[in-house]
Structures are given as C-alpha cells and as structure tokens.
A and B are shown apart, each in its own frame.
Chain A
Amino acid sequence: MAKKTADKKADNSKQVGSHKSGVTQPQLGFIGMCRWAWRQLTTMRVALILLLVLALAAIPGSLLPQRIQDPGRVTTFLEANGAWGQFLDTIQMFDVYSSIWFSAIYLLLMISLIGCVIPRSAQHWKAMRSAPPKAPRRLGRMPGYESFTSATGSAESREVADQGFLDTAQARLKKLGYRTVRHDDHVAAERGYLRETGNLVFHIALLVATLTMAIGSLFGYQGQRILVEGETFTNSLVAYDSFEPGSYYDANNLPDFRLKLDSFESTFDDQAPGSQFGQPRTFDAKVTATADGKSEKHTLRVNEPVRVGGTGVYLTGNGYAPEVTVKDAKGQVVQSGPQVFIPDGGDPGYTSEGVIKVPDSAGTQMGFVGVFLPTATQNENGELVSSFAELRNPYLVMSGYTGDLGLDNGTPQSVYTIDAENMTEMTDATGNPLLIQLAEGETQKLPDGGSVTFDGVKRYIAVDISQDPTQGLMLVSAIAVLLGLGLSLFIPRRRMWVRIKDGQAEVAALARGEDQMVERAAKDLAKDLADEPDDDPDDDSEERI
C-alpha cells in the first residue's frame, strides 16, 4: 500500500507544472481518504490528542450551570446574561455532556480505541498460541546479558553436560513462570502474556462501561417526591412530584410498592465551635415499605437507601412542614394540615420559605406567603433569624393576600409560590400590611374576621426514587477496568534466552514494554545457573564487562 501511494505521488509530480501542489488529494479517492482517516484516527498520536481534548471539553461543565443538575440555575444564568447566555446555550454549554461536540470527541475516541483493540487482540491471540522466538545470533546486544563458563563436565562429555545445563535452565525458567521452548543449543522463554491481556481487558472494559452508561440512561428512570410524616407514597406515575424516565422506559409498568414515612428525626451539633456549630449530625427517617403484601420497617438514611421492588429510595433532603389551620369569617375551617416549607440551602439554621393556598374559603380566595424559623432569634440588627436548625423556638412569619390565586386558569404553577398579581395584601387596622407572627399554638385574627392558627410542626423528607437496570454490568466493567489496568502496568513482559556452547553459557533478557527488572532477571538467572553458587552477589557485576 505504501508503495502504491508513492507511485501515485511520482505520477503526480510529473503534472505539477500544470497543477498546484494539492493535486494528490483528489487522486486518493473516497476510499483512500477513509483509509487515511482511519489510519490517522487509530494512531496513538491522535488518540492522545483526543484524550487531551476530552479533558479540556469536560471542564466547561464545571464552570457553567448544567441542566442535568439544576435547570433552575441555568434559567437564572440565561436571564442574567442576555445575548452571551443565548450564545452559550446555542453551543450547548449548558448541556455539555450530551452536546454534539462532547459526544463527537468521545465517539471518535471510542472508534480509535476499537481500531486499536481489534488488531491488537488478533495479534495477541496469535502470540499466545505461538512459541517463544528463537534466540537472535548476538545475545550480547540484549539489555540484560550475562556470560560465564559452565564448569561441569570434562571435554568428552561436553555435549552431555551442555544438554544437562539447558535442562536445568529450562526447568528453572518454567518454575519462574516462563513459557519455554528447547532448541539445539539454547532455551527460548517468554513470560508476561497477561500484560497484554490486561491491557486489552482494560480497554474493552472501558468501551463496555461507556456503552453501559449510555444504555442505562435509556432504560432507567429517576423520580422525586416529598413525603410528610404519616404520608404514604404509592409507586405510580401520579404520586411523583417529578419524574424523568429514560427514552425506552415503560412508565406504565412501575414496580408495585408503597412507602410510608412513620417519623423523621434529625440532630444538629450544638457543641462544636466555629463553622461546625449547627452542622447536621444525623438524619433518620423511619419508613415502612410494603411490597408483595409484606411490610418491613427500615431506617432510611443519607447513605442507606431502602431498596424495594427493584428500585432504590434515597434520602436527599428534609425540612419542616408547619401545621396551620385557617378559618374564614364564619369560623369554618377552610385549610388545615402540614404545609411543606423549603429550607434555604445556604442557611444552617433552616430558615424556610413556603406558602399556604386557601382556595375554598367562603368569600374570596386567600393566600399566605411566609418564612418559618425553627429557632427564632433576634440578630444584632433586630431582624428575626433562625440561629439553629432544631425546633427550639419555632416561629412563623407571614403576610396574607386575598383575591384570585389563579388556580383555575389552567396554567401550571408551583405549589411553593403564590402569584400575587390578582391579589391584594391584607392590611391591619392602621392600613399597614398585615404581619402574621405566630409561635407554636398561637392564633391571630384576620381583618375579615377569620383566623390563622399555628398548630405544630411536622417533618418531611425529600426522596429520590430510581431504577437503573444496568448498574450490575457497570460494576462488572469497572472491576474489569481496574484488574486489567493493574495487570497491564505491572506484569513485566520479558523474553529470555539461555545458550551454551562448549561450556560457554550466555543468558540474555529482553523487555517488551516497561520492565525495570530486565537486567536483574538476566543476572539472577545467570547466578542461579552458574555451577558454583556465589555468595557475594556483587561478583556477578564484574563479569558484565
């Protein structure tokens, strides 16, 4: 092939007078181009560049918000950055890991890998089944080389002695794990086939792992749900707060199970000084899981998911749900029960925000927007803050609105916010905005005659529920990656030859790939085979000259 190309080049060079320099390209033809591209792609040089580009391409995903992690932050970023944000979105900077360019890089890398692994596997298959090659004529050129005189035998039995020597050498090499083959005047030996096996296993396992990752996202699902103490989750589509199925996941076929949150307890550090004060120490959710008619009690913790019906239930968050009773002007209870308030992620004191929607009151609809403080304290500016995450002084601060909550116009809205556009804020007797401030058990009158009562507080947990049928395969390939890597980096691949002629013995070793012990191997074997065992190991080194 190389020759052919050269001929073509020669032909072209004759025409150079009439054409400009690029003329060789069209002559390559489509297949030629493909072959050229393939050969380029499978070179180590290009693979190396692809690796470096892959590392570089992965970085933007850590600098910019990503949709797979936090779509909300992406929206905020887009709002704040106008045209620049739009541009970044166009080039898929918020979906880096599913972007065309990132996929292109790793696909090229995978193709390059396949192009490398297949021929090497074939080669290795052959090598594994063939005998170690014969000794080259001049062993002295090998990186490990020793020569010495074998003292056994007289001149008459030289032949016999030499063969005996080779017998010993062969036995010795076999014992050291070499594959050996005997020739007239020498033994050829090779070891470390596992090095290349490991290398291939490592690369194939990497391919499998990458494919598994892609497939796993197609056949699994992930959902989220908030559960207040006492609530039961029944695994069905409607029971999820959010649900993200893979493209091929049959969401109508969810495994059948129920999960009840019996209670949730948390403890926070009130002893440690400095930044450690108020840090969480335990989150324990007592749950009852029911599947196949059997109920089991579990403690769900951050690092202890509950696995039921082929799915995993993971504790990902928790918070407080104040129980509030709202009565209308007639004294009728129009709203009661726990309301989930979302803690501010950055505040160790669990200051939480939430709303109460009252669509069914006698007169107009009501809405309350508020802050819940587990341990209300006044800071130096006189503001109410929560100084600790446990319930030491629970306090509810809210403003009230009347009017249209906008629940009936069909547009979906968050259960955690109120659109106050068509509502008016409640005011107190002096005409100022009404401030509802309640400690546990307290009631406050509303201007229209109704009332709000802060009855108590319940805990809630946020759980991720997910299924990934490919996890087992992923684990297997990960273990194969590790094993293959270990073998490929630390099994020395080495050839050795022991030759004897008229009592003059030679031992040579050749490393194939990284092998720091190659000289040592020749030296040790020579020492072993020398008739008079030498106590001083350093004597051998003199013979090297």
Chain B
Amino acid sequence: MDVNTDLAMWSNQLIISAMVVYAVAMIFYAFDLFGGRELKQTEAGATSAAKPSNVRRTNRKATTALLDPPQTDVSAEISAGSGKEKPRRGARIGTSLLVLAALLHVAAVLTRALSVMRVPWGNMMEYVLTATVITVIVFLIVNVKKDIRYLGTIVAGGVLLCLGLAITVFYTPAAKLIPALDSYWIAIHVPIAILSTSLLYISAILAVFQILKNTQETKNPKWLRFMRRMPASIDLERFSYTIAAVGFITWTFTLIAGAIWAEVAWSRYWGWDSKEIWTFVVWVIYAAYLHARATRGWGPTKVAVLNLIGIATVIFNFTVVNMYFNGLHSYSGLG
C-alpha cells in the first residue's frame, strides 16, 4: 500500500550504521569520563591564585565551557591543563562521532518517513527512533551553550540501547497509519511528547551525576574519583532542574494536546484510560519535584531521587503501559 520498501530498507541499514558510530562515540566519551588524568590534590582556588596571569584566560574558557562562571573544581582543572596538553581529546572525538552518528540517525528517520510518506512516529519503533535522535540533538544543542560532554557516555549509551530495542523488540515494518492515528494531532501531540521524554531523560542523567558528585564532595570514595572533574553538585542540580522545568512545560502541553485529541477521537477529553492515567502520574510526580525544591526538609539529593522516580514513570508509561496494559493507546504496532 504505497510503501517504498527500498527506502524502508535503507532506513534500517542507516539505523545499524548509526548504532556502530554511537558505540564508538560512547567509548571515546567513556575514556574522557573515566580516564581523565589524575590531578594533584591542589585546591581550585590555589591553582588560580598561584597563576594570576592565567586567570583571565581561564575564566574566559570557563564561562564558555561551564555551567556556571568560575570557582568550581573544573575551571581549575581545565586551567591547569590548558595550553599544555590537548584538553579532553576523548570528549572532542566523542562529540565529532556523535555528530556523525546523529547525521546517519537523522537520515534513518527521514528515509523511514519518506518510505511511508507520513510522520515518523506511528508506532513504538518509530517513536524510539525519533526520540533518540531528538535526545542527541538536544544534547548537542545544549553543548553549544554549556559543556555537558561529561554526559556523553550515558547519552550515547542510552541511545544505543534504545536503538537496539527499536530494531528487535519494537521492530515494526514500515506501513501506513491506522485510522485512529491518522489525524493532524499526531503532528502536534506526539513530537512534543517525544521532546518531553528527551528533556526529562537528560535532566535525569544530570540528577544521577548530581547525586554521584554530591557523594564525591561529601564522602569522596575512591570509586568516584572520576567525578572530581565534574561541576559542583549544586550547579548540576540547578541545570537538571532547568531542563526538567522545560520538560514539565512540554509535558503539560503533551497532556493538554492529548486531551484535545482524545475529544476528537473518543468523544471525551479525559476518560482515565491507562495511558491517560500514567501521563497524569508523570505530570504529578514532576509537579511534586518542582515543589520539592522549594520545600524545607527536602535536600538536593532527595529532590534528585524524585526526578529519577519521574523518569522511571516516563519509561514505564512508554514501555509497560504500551505493551501490557489494556487501553485505547494500543498503538505499539507490535502484533
């Protein structure tokens, strides 16, 4: 039925190619994350103070490269290394490879879309395919403003895992939409849902790093030595929050757009369908997360745990609810 099977096959090939490049990117990022050279136990302040002539240059570097202006460990570490060794070669190669993988990935999404001449998010496989590419693009865009390359390992690894699932467990042959999905609302509701998922995912990784960094700052166990080069946990927390806040707004939009679509398709905007229930649960959890930050007695680590519970419900909503729960959103495409 008007499906270009050649293009669909190309798309599958491109997914595999992208996966290979993602795998290599992940390895380079991992070298950057774990294999960074050890620093002597010099305090950040001491380093800058010892080389006053260097301060200005390092600050410039820091402001472009960091979450927040100076005075964190990282600025000191970068300043210590700048000029002598090539800084963070692993991260540079990782990012270049990630860009290459993203190009292949975008091509895979486009060929898939062209093979069926419709939006590329009509079933679980396509949703994952698009959500992962959006995650990578969001990650790369954020990196232009703030250096979060230390997340690269997890981003590339996560994308690799998801694409692996997409071409196996979630695999669905290219085909036209079912009538229930054939609406212009699919071009509004679903991409924003995808964007939300990507944002909340990145926020959650930051929350994990925040917890690790916090442990390193307070207890400093040996196995967390690699975290020394991370920004301070308070900065990680703030950034994680900002992204989650954007994600919360887009999720709210997803929910509202979904309700409007539900009225068009099923005669009511809200009917406590299992997907609606879990979208609501996710929304309430993130609402709680935003409030928790302003609540006495909720330390940053506890708040970060709430963020992680949030992403767990997002993932549950996508996987278990789609595949095992009875409901009107049975669009997984899995027979």
Contact = CB atoms under 8 A, between A and B. Distances in A.
Contacts of A485: 248-249, 252
B241 A514 contact: yes
A481 B256 contact: yes
Interface stretch (A132-140, A328-336, A411-419, A463-471): A463-471
Contacts of A387: none
A431 interface: no
B287 interface: yes
A62 B321 contact: yes
A282 B176 CA distance: 10
Contact of B274 (A52, A62, A279, A482): A62
Contact of B295 (A48, A466, A542): A48
A281 interface: yes
Interface string A466-490: 1010010011001101100110011
B272 A61 contact: yes
Interface string B224-240: 00000000000000100
Interface in B251-282: 252-253, 256, 259-261, 263-274, 277-278, 280-281
A59 interface: yes
A425 interface: no
Contact of B277 (A47, A62, A222): A62
Contact of B56 (A97, A479, A542): A542
A305 B264 contact: yes
B284 A55 contact: yes
Contact-size category for A: 35 or more
A490 B273 CA distance: 32
B241 A274 contact: no
B36 interface: no
Contacts of B272: 61, 66, 68-69, 96-97
A213 B273 contact: no
Given A271-B1, A275-B334, A482-B252, A316 B267 contact: yes
Interface string A35-60: 00000000011011001101100110
A301 B180 CA distance: 9
B172 interface: yes
Interface in B108-147: none
A464 B296 contact: no
Contacts of B180: 302-303
Interface of A: 44-45, 47-48, 51-52, 54-55, 58-59, 61-62, 65-66, 68-70, 73, 96-97, 213, 222, 269-276, 279-283, 301-305, 312, 314, 316, 464-466, 468, 471, 474-475, 478-479, 481-482, 485-486, 489-490, 514, 516, 519, 538-539, 541-542
22 contacts: A48-B288, A55-B313, A58-B277, A62-B278, A69-B273, A271-B1, A272-B175, A279-B178, A475-B260, A482-B252, A485-B249, A485-B252, A486-B249, A489-B245, A489-B249, A514-B238, A514-B242, A516-B68, A516-B242, A519-B69, A541-B56, A542-B56
Q: Which 4 A-B pairs have the closest CB atoms?
A: A275-B335, A303-B183, A276-B175, A272-B175
Given A58-B281, A485-B252, 19 more contacts: A44-B294, A44-B296, A48-B291, A52-B284, A52-B288, A55-B281, A55-B285, A62-B325, A68-B272, A69-B273, A274-B173, A281-B1, A281-B178, A302-B183, A482-B249, A485-B248, A489-B246, A516-B68, A542-B56
